Amino acid sequence: MTPPQDPALPDGSWVEWKGRVYKGSIVVDPPASVRVFAPTPEDDQFTRSRSGGWTRVLPETEVVQFQLRTYCRWQGERFAVADRTPDGRLSLVWTGRDAGRAAQLGLQLLDKYTWGTTVPASEVTDLAQERHDVQLTPRRS
């Protein structure tokens, strides 16, 4: 089996604004805002961030925010991909909650009701990234 390919965008929070996609995060003040991050200033409203990139706060009404998460199957079970090790192995978090089944799979307890393992990428199947749009504040109809 061929090892899975890296997704076009890493898992995490993203924002679409003016036809482009940026890394993004929710802003507490001002409310109903998001912060976008860019490697270069997109306009004169971007400011230099501490990390050396560029950032701008935008009203949520101007953007679409979404989360990306990668999932796969291992041993017939669904897992979220948490990380890729330097040697190409995948750290997986099981999406199931049955302690007995976790024991059958040989999973390690990571936290209460959360189990995981690290396996060679060649052992996983059905690797796919899912997008979930995020609604920051409730919309009134």
Query: How many C-beta neighbours within 10 Å does residue 4 have?
Result: 18
**Tens digits of per-residue pLDDT, 83-97?**
999 998 999 999 999
CA distance 123 to 1: 8
Closest to 39 measured CA to CA, from 27, 18, 21: 21
> Which DSSP symbol is given to 4?
P
Pair 112, 56 in one domain? no
Pair 52, 72 in one domain? no
State if pTM tops 0.95: no
Pair 72, 118 in one domain? yes
Q: Which domain holds residue 126?
A: 67-133
Q: Taking 70 as the threshold, does the pLDDT of residue 14 lie above it?
A: yes
On average, the pLDDT of the chain sits at: 88
The residues, any chain, with a CB within 8 Å of residue 1's CB and separated by 6 or more, are: 122, 123, 125
- Average pLDDT score over residue span 14-23: 92
Residue by residue, DSSP assigns 115-127 as: EEEEEEGGG-EEE
CA distance 90 to 111: 18
pLDDT value, residue 120: 96
If one counts the domains in the chain, the total is 2
Pair 45, 82 in one domain? no
- Average pLDDT score over residue span 12-17: 92
Is the separation of the CB atoms in 53 and 39 below 8 Å?
Answer: yes
Lowest mean pLDDT among 1-5, 95-99, 119-123: 1-5
Q: Please give the span between the terminal C-alpha atoms of the chain, in angstroms, as a whole number.
A: 49
- Average pLDDT score over residue span 102-113: 96
Q: Taking 60 as the threshold, does the pLDDT of residue 139 lie above it?
A: no
End-of-domain residue from the set 62, 81, 102: 62
**Tens digits of per-residue pLDDT, 48-62?**
999 889 999 999 999
